[in-house]
Amino acid sequence: MNGTVYELRDVVKLYGQREVLHLDHLEIPRGEITCIVGPNGAGKSSLLRLLNFLESPTSGQIIFDGHPVNGQVPLALKRRVTTVFQRPLLLSGSVYENVAYGLKLRGEKGIEARVRQVLERVGLAEFARASVRTLSGGEAQRVALARAIVIEPEVLLLDEPTANLDPYNGSLIEKIVASLNREQGTTIVMVTHNVFQAKRLAHRVAFLLGGREIEIAPAEQFFTAPTDPRTAAFIRGEMVY
């Protein structure tokens, strides 16, 4: 199963009494862009937290790169995955310090060159010494993306990364994500409520509703010939509860 980076079996997540996720079987293929779509409250963000090992499932099995993940996740494993959230969540200080943060945590060398390179990539080369307080929303989110890219994760998770952004920055981020996948083979899992974004980027789409996976299919099939009527309703833009 080398083509699969995540396999989730009978994964249930409860917050107190509330069931937010109940996935019978979900696979995330390696090297592809998988988009997770669904209405609000469908459990998409919770799923991302499980994939980044920020939380543990209440029951069920997660297999990462062929290794079953139980209880305490080894740090080395955790550090192969990172998330870009909807808000940039930057630390106070300069752009450089923020982007270098993940590298410093890992005690890596050659930080300066790598930071400069990734800042170029997101179009913020002259912003290295700028204070984050001076950034616009779109620039801040690009810094967050740079911070994630520079540590060269195997898996990049994104939770509605362009939801708060203007079209220019939104499309810039989409391009960077797409090129990251194309050139480095990074596995991308992106949560979005924007059907059009999913159409543009995804190789594979999973539709979540009420914490359950309704349909998972290659993008083309998902959009042109969905098997489940609820999927079709969602694609049409109808609010699906």
Partner 1 sequence: MSELFRGAIQALRLILTLDPQVLSILSLTLRVTGTALLFSTLMGVPLGGLLALKRFIGRRVVIALLYTGMGLPPVVVGLFVYLLLSRSGPLGYLGWLFTPRAMILAQVIISLPLVMGFTMASVMGVEPELRLQLASLGATNWQATWTILKEARNGVIVSIVAGFGSIISEVGAVMLVGGNIEGQTRTLTTAIVLETRKGSFDLAMALGIILLALSFIANAVMLVLQGRRLE
Residues that bind partner 1 (CB under 8 A): 49, 52, 54, 75, 78-79, 81-83, 85, 87, 89, 91-92, 101-102, 105-106, 147-148, 151, 157
Q: Could you tell me the smallest distance in angstroms from the CB atom of residue 224 to partner 1? A: 34
The residue (of 85 and 223) whose beta carbon lies closer to partner 1 is 85
User: Among residues 154, 182, 13, which one has the least CA distance to residue 82?
Assistant: 154
Residue 58 and residue 34: Cα distance in Å, rounded?
Answer: 24
152-184 exposure pattern, b = at least 16 Cβ within 10 A, e = fewer = bbbbbbbbbbbeebeeebbebbbebbeebbeee
The residue (of 82 and 186) whose beta carbon lies closer to partner 1 is 82
Q: Could you tell me the smallest distance in angstroms from the CB atom of residue 200 to partner 1? A: 25
User: Among residues 121, 126, 113, which one has the least CA distance to residue 146?
Assistant: 121
The residue (of 81 and 235) whose beta carbon lies closer to partner 1 is 81
Q: Could you tell me the smallest distance in angstroms from the CB atom of residue 83 to partner 1? A: 4
> Hey, is 3 helix, strand or coil?
coil
Instruction: Describe the crossing of helices 167-184 and 137-149 by its angle, rounded to 10 degrees.
Output: 10
The residue (of 135 and 209) whose beta carbon lies closer to partner 1 is 135
Q: Could you tell me the smallest distance in angstroms from the CB atom of residue 87 to partner 1? A: 7
